[in-house]
Amino acid sequence: MSSDELELYDSDIGEEIEEAEKIEFLNREDVELEMKTLISDVESIVEVNAGMCRNLLHKFKWNKEALLNKMYESGDTQQFLIDSQVMAKCDDKVKEAKEGDCDICCSFGVLIGLDCNHMACKECWKMYLKEKIVDNGICEIECMVPECNLLMEESKIANYTTNSFILAKYRYQSINGYVAASSRLKWCPGIDCGRIVKIPDAETRLIVCECETRFCFNCCQEFHDPIDCRLMKKWLIKCSDDSETSNWLNTNTKDCPKCSVPIEKNGGCNHMRCTNNKCKHAFCWMCMKAWEHHKENGYKCNIFDESKEKSRSETRALLERWLFYYNRYMNHLQSLQLEEKLKVKVSAKEEELQKNSTMTWVDVQFLSKSVSALSECRRTLMYTYAFAFYLKKNNNSEIFESNQRDLEMATENISGYLERELETKDLKTLRQKVQDLSRYVDQRRKALLNHCEEGVENDFWDFSE
């Protein structure tokens, strides 16, 4: 490998490492440690126990500054704590368990309760906690008396139920509440991953987790540049719902004028009979009137009904436009899936080159990098067609289409070369050609994405809804 090639390779690796270092992948224990640190900070200021501080922070979406500002604004810390449901209003708080009749199940036994003096037996508390935590997915649990909204502290929950499953569920929901409240934390959507991603700033969007799941930090779907999350959601809904099936039916079928069952014309004769066995209505495909109408009033199918035909033509045009973009979107998705075989082929070629030549592991990485570049381009091209579907025509959309066309051509060139030329014996030519194609396709991809980003920054994109 030449010095220039090594420099290019090292710079690419350096950028990837630098970007990866900015993103942290945490487990639940890491996040719990963050939560405990925050609880401890608030505890030292507000001077109430950790359980109350946890409930306070949860109520204020784990925003310490918002919590403290609200407390100082109130001017009365005790009243603030009562209003925030973490402190009981009564002065005579529960000190210890006592015996008596449970107000819930009416059985006699040891009664326990919160500082609000609402007591119940331990079995009733267990059932109540199971309902709230397991059945309803709640970690902010109020007293079981409907009129009382005092929040249970974590220590009370742990004392009132020893069920490990319920406590694990409570722990998960508490962590999940912390993650959901943070603008810098997200669960990785990878199957059985369980990692929590922490980003350095709100600008970070592409996440490649340690489990190799690629996703958009904002919406947790597969990363979808250049289209934004809002339009991507609309596109996925449009691709998955029955609206396009309805459009096809409207374009290619007509409803029976009597029972409204959709009927497809499968012959040349315009004398139609409804396929519904309970209907069997005979009508004219051209004018949709009963076939008997022709006998009684004469043949009038030659009279043009402009309103109906205009509506049908517009529907057909909309369907054809959607299919144009959808088919290209799916074509690149299919190519991306089929090119998984190319990864296996390239991996085998790399092993062969290391075994049968003087090339080292670093020397053969140009092949893996080229396949990675190809995959990136396929993904980008997929989403450019979703982007283009909503994009209104103007001068900038023409530049976008030109960049899209250049990227598509470059992508097909490198894809075709890798499919056809891997078995060549001229290793020098193979390496030079693959590196040139990889470099060019990456340049075209960056040019397209930079133009899309420029459009967002300067607000010159105009999208249809």
Q: Where residue 274 falls among pLDDT bands split at 50, 70, 90? A: confident
Distance from the Cα of residue 293 to its chain's centroid: 55
Q: Which residues contact 316 (CB under 8 A, 6 or more apart)?
A: 251
Could you check whether the bond before residue 257 is cis, i.e. omega within 30 degrees of 0?
no
| Ramachandran category for residue 289: left, alpha or beta (phi over 0 → left; psi -120 to 50 → alpha) | beta
DSSP secondary structure string for all residues of 83-101: HTTSS-S-SS---S-EEEE
DSSP helix, strand, coil percent of the chain (3-state; round to 5): 60, 10, 30
Report whether pLDDT(273) > 60.
yes
In this predicted model, which residue has the larger pLDDT, 257 or 369? 369
Which stretch, 47-51, 301-305, 403-407, has highest mean pLDDT?
A: 403-407
**φ, ψ (nearest 5 deg) of residue 268:** -80, -25
H or E element that contains 66 = helix 64-74
pLDDT score of 299: 59
Contact 410, 437 (CB under 8 A): yes
pLDDT score of 420: 87
Q: What is the pLDDT of residues 398-437, one digit of tens each?
A: 999 999 999 999 999 999 999 888 888 788 888 999 999 9
Closest CA to 221 of 236, 210, 211: 236
Percent of the chain past pLDDT 90, that is, above it, reads: 45
Which stretch, 101-115, 243-257, 374-388, has highest mean pLDDT?
A: 374-388
Report whether pLDDT(187) > 60.
yes
426 vs 423: CA distance, rounded Å: 9
177 vs 34: CA distance, rounded Å: 13
- How far, CA to CA in Å, does 201 sit from each of 185, 205, 399? 10, 9, 31
284 vs 291: CA distance, rounded Å: 5
Closest CA to 407 of 456, 454, 452, 446: 446
Report whether pLDDT(345) > 70.
yes
Domain ranges within the chain, ordered by starting residue: 256-293, 316-458
Q: Across residues 94-106, what is the average pLDDT?
A: 80
| Residue owning tokens 């040139």 | 436
pLDDT score of 294: 72
Q: Which residues contact 1 (CB under 8 A, 6 or more apart)?
A: 9, 362, 363, 366, 431
pLDDT score of 8: 46
Q: What is the pLDDT of residues 17-39, one digit of tens each?
A: 445 458 899 999 999 999 999 99
In this predicted model, which residue has the larger pLDDT, 362 or 93? 362
Of 66-70, 103-107, 301-305, the range with the lowest mean pLDDT is 301-305
Helices (H) and strands (E) in the chain, counts: 16, 12
Q: What is the pLDDT of residues 109-136, one digit of tens each?
A: 888 888 888 888 889 999 999 999 999 8
What is 316-458's CATH topology?
A: Four Helix Bundle (Hemerythrin (Met), subunit A) (1.20.120)
pLDDT score of 248: 61
378 vs 372: CA distance, rounded Å: 10
Report the chain's mean pLDDT, rounded to a whole number: 85
| Residue owning tokens 């949709």 | 288
Position 391, amino acid: L
Task: Note the residue count of the chain.
Answer: 465
In this predicted model, which residue has the larger pLDDT, 228 or 358? 228
439 vs 462: CA distance, rounded Å: 31
Of 50-59, 269-278, 369-378, the range with the lowest mean pLDDT is 269-278
Contact 375, 336 (CB under 8 A): yes
| Ramachandran category for residue 257: left, alpha or beta (phi over 0 → left; psi -120 to 50 → alpha) | alpha
Is the entire prediction scored with pTM above 0.75? no
Extract the tokens encoding 336.
């991306």
DSSP state of 242: S
Q: What is the pLDDT of residues 353-379, one digit of tens each?
A: 888 888 888 888 999 999 999 999 999
In this predicted model, which residue has the larger pLDDT, 89 or 233? 233
Q: Which residues contact 73 (CB under 8 A, 6 or more apart)?
A: none
Extract the tokens encoding 330.
């799916």
> Which residues are known catalytic residues?
269
